[in-house]
């Protein structure tokens, strides 16, 4: 059975999201300070298991493990060049866990840096970074869906 349009589903009433990914990663032995987003590449089974646990607990949707997966936040872990790979994989993991009836929402968090004049980021640079992240999240979702057709 195919998923209902997200807007229509939300109009039906109660819609449950997952909980904290970071807390669940720590509960599974991941050290604080680790780049949680890179776990999509390094330990995808852990991320998948967390998503599945949230669905089994009654969640209608999960957020991708990509909160800090923009080029500025990833650069603090020397992973700024892995934006596409990390985000595409994040949405693929979420979609596999969700199956055909549940929802996967792309999680885009802050850059962790400030815009000028308080910081060094220019608005167009930040917009571009978030666009890259959003496109990679969408590409991962699309890749999984197209394989099912």
Give me the number of domains the chain comprises: 1
Question: Is there a cis peptide before residue 27, judged by omega within 30 degrees of 0?
Answer: no
The pLDDT tens digits for 53-77 are 999 999 999 999 999 999 999 999 9
Cα–Cα distance list, 29 to 24, 26, 46 (Å): 9, 5, 10
**pTM assigned to the model:** 0.92
Domain presence at residue 1: no
**Domain around 78:** 6-148
Domain presence at residue 77: yes
Is residue 146 scored above 70 in pLDDT?
no
The pLDDT tens digits for 65-120 are 999 999 999 999 999 999 999 999 999 999 999 998 999 999 999 999 999 999 99
The pLDDT, as a whole number, for residue 149 is 46
The pLDDT tens digits for 4-54 are 899 999 999 999 999 999 999 999 999 999 999 999 999 999 999 999 999
Is residue 1 scored above 80 in pLDDT?
no
72: domain CATH number?
3.20.20.330
Domain presence at residue 43: yes
Residue 104, SS3 per DSSP = strand
The pLDDT, as a whole number, for residue 4 is 86
């Amino acid at each position: 059975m195919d998923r209902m349009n997200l807007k229509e589903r939300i109009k039906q009433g109660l819609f449950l999201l997952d909980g904290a990914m970071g807390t669940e990663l720590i509960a599974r032995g991941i050290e604080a300070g680790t780049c949680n987003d890179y776990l999509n590449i390094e330990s995808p089974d852990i991320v998948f298991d967390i998503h599945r646990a949230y669905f089994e607990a009654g969640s209608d949707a999960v957020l991708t493990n990509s909160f800090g997966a923009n080029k500025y936040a990833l650069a603090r872990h020397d992973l700024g060049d892995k934006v596409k790979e990390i985000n595409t994989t994040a949405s693929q993991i979420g979609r596999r866990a969700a199956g055909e009836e549940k929802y996967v929402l792309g999680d885009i968090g802050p850059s962790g840096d400030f815009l000028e004049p308080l910081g060094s980021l220019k608005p167009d640079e930040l917009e571009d970074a978030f666009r890259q992240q959003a496109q990679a999240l969408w590409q991962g979702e699309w890749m999984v869906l197209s394989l099912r057709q």
